[in-house]
Structure 1
Amino acid sequence: MARRDVTDNIGSLADWDRPLLLIGCGNMAGSILARWLDSGLSPERVQVVDPAQPALVPGIDVRTALPERIAPGTIVLVGIKPQQFDGISGPLNALLDGGAVVLSIMAGLPVGLLRKALPRAVGIVRLMPNLPVRTGEGVVLTFSEGAENAQVGQLLAPLGLVEALASEDDFDLGTALSGCGPAYVYRVIDALAAAASRLGLGEAQAARLALQTVAGAASAASRSDSAPAAMADAVASPGGMTRLGLDVLDADERLVELLTDTLRAARDRGAELAAASLNA
């Protein structure tokens, strides 16, 4: 199966001509905005509503409350905490007009609830990005109530791999994999370094080697037409060092079982948090 480097999807936003309104500009929304600006988006196209962000890039209109009007054709990215949505949904809906599309990165709020709260939006897309979107190497899970919007696709492309989900029910598991996944990879890097240190390498040297080994392997995998399992077998000579190490990881599917338990725990917690948000 052919694989794809996420950077293949990166495009320029230098010619982007639609207004953008960000409601909330915390870690995730701020990372998305920073990547868009790095990709050529003009700050003059952007308006931000966030009392905690008194100043951003020069040229961006930063406000502490919703504007008096939203320009026709605006794409609105809602990045506030889910429990804050009820407080702004009514005033926001009253301002939506002229082809406004709403993108939501609020965890746990399904498209149906968003549509009920924002009936004036011409389109609603639920997103789940991860933090590597800041460098264009992220994953953005999407679920739309209708057909994919080409301009939304252009806007998301610079962030990395954009993956549409066939069912909104897959959001918790997809989030466990791609949203929580970077933390698990960081833990694997740390574990490789700790193991090497226990066996005799200095801590600092083991940390450097583990980090670059994972970075190089991930980069090679993203650019290869081979599946990762085949790549592992390709470097594992029968009876050699790599093969003996793989035998330990593969015994009784211990690595797969561990990661299955890890993703299950994260997925189930996501479902619990979503239920709590809906019942709040």
Structure 2
Amino acid sequence: MRTGRLKLVLNPIWFIGCGNMAGAMVEGWQSANVDLSDAVVIRPSAKPVPGLRVTSNYAAAGPAPRLVILGCKPQQLDDVVSRLTAHLTSQTLVVSLLVGVELETLRQKFWTAGAIVRALPNLPVAVRRGVIALYGEDIPGELHQQVSQLFAQLGYALWVNDESSLAAVGSVAGAGPAYVASFVEALAKAGVERGLSSELAATVALETVLGTTWMAASTHESMGDVVRRVASPNGTTEAGLAVLRRDDVLDKLVSLTVSAASRRAAELAEEAKGPKLAQEAPSA
């Protein structure tokens, strides 16, 4: 049974852009019954967002925001800065969802804001089962708590101590749903190859992964323990695992995949700095 709406201290909220990730967060907060009545989405297309007011004009957004969710693309950052900065005050918290755009870059660009936090959520925030890594420096205790409470409505929210840790969590959790989905898709294809219909194979693969992760989360077993429970000595599962474990092929493949995502995040960080900031940055 639902109780009353969760009232937010950080109002009004401006969502700058509302693509896949910001849209998923809106869905999660709406599901959690968070009060978004004072929220507005600002996007050039003015494309509707269910339950929220949308405008393409910053001047029409209303009172200065207490919380800005920066959900635009990194390539759009400079255009957003030119339009948004005049509306920020010392009471505004900017939460950036931009992958790879470092805190120092954001400080340089949003110098009129009171505080800046980087957040790297993943898509399951839409169903309140997301992972959200948070990072900020010199965030007052009360504000820190408010941000924690807000993002805890979307799943597992954790603060990290530095941007390298933020990037590490993001490279695993942020992109992870796409990798897991690719594995489920591959598992389903293997079922089709063995005579199952595509619909049945997709359902069996999805339910297998869902059931396995739910069981592990419920029992607090390690994945290694789950493997040992399923794989009988010299059985069919062991035969399949021997392929995955040969020359550590699975571990190496996943490591290369995550490394590629990390490299791209670093490239985005350099691009976001712009020529001036990049020149001033210390060499590695």
TM-score grouping bracket, smaller chain normalisation: 0.7 to 0.9
Q: Quick one: which amino acid aligns to residue 27 of structure 2? A: A
For residue 114 of structure 2, what is the aligned residue in structure 1? 122
Match runs of 1:239-278 below 5 Å: 239-278=234-273
TM-score normalised by structure 2 residue count = 0.84
Q: Within 2, Cα distance between the matches of 1:240 and 1:112?
A: 54
> Partner of 2:278 in structure 1?
none
| Structure-1 separation of matches of 2:203 and 2:120 | 31
Residue 70 of structure 2 aligns with which residue? 78
2:87 alignment counterpart: 95
Q: Which runs of 4+ in 1 moved over 6 A?
A: none
Secondary structure of 2:157's partner? strand
Query: In the alignment, what sits opposite 2:137?
Result: 145
| Corresponding position: 1:168 with 2:160 | no
Alignment of 1:10-49 (within 5 A): 14-19=6-11, 20-49=13-42
Q: Is the 8 A contact 1:100 1:122 kept in 2?
A: yes
Give the counterpart of 2:50 among 51, 57, 76: 57
1:166-204: CA deviations, max 9, x gaps?
221244443321121111111111111222322343433
3-state secondary structure, aligned to 1:231: helix
Aligned residues: 269
Unaligned ranges ≥5, structure 1: 1-10
CA RMSD, Structure 1 to Structure 2 (Å): 2.5
Instruction: Choose 180-189 or 168-177, whichever is displaced more.
Output: 168-177
- The whole-number CA distance in structure 2 between the counterparts of 1:13 and 1:123 is 26
User: What amino acid is the match of 1:89?
Assistant: V
Instruction: Verify: 1:192 aligned to 2:190, yes or no.
Output: no
Residues 188, 198 of structure 2: 8 Å contact kept: yes
Bigger relative contact order (CA 8 A; separation at least 6): 1
Give the TM-score taking structure 1 as reference length. 0.85
- The residue type paired with residue 258 of structure 1 is L
Structure-2 separation of matches of 1:17 and 1:211: 39
Q: C-alpha separation between the residues in 2 aligned to 1:22 and 1:223?
A: 35
Checking the alignment, whether the CA contact within 8 Å between 1:70 and 1:95 is kept in structure 2 is no
Check the 8 A contact 2:42/2:61 in 1, yes or no.
no
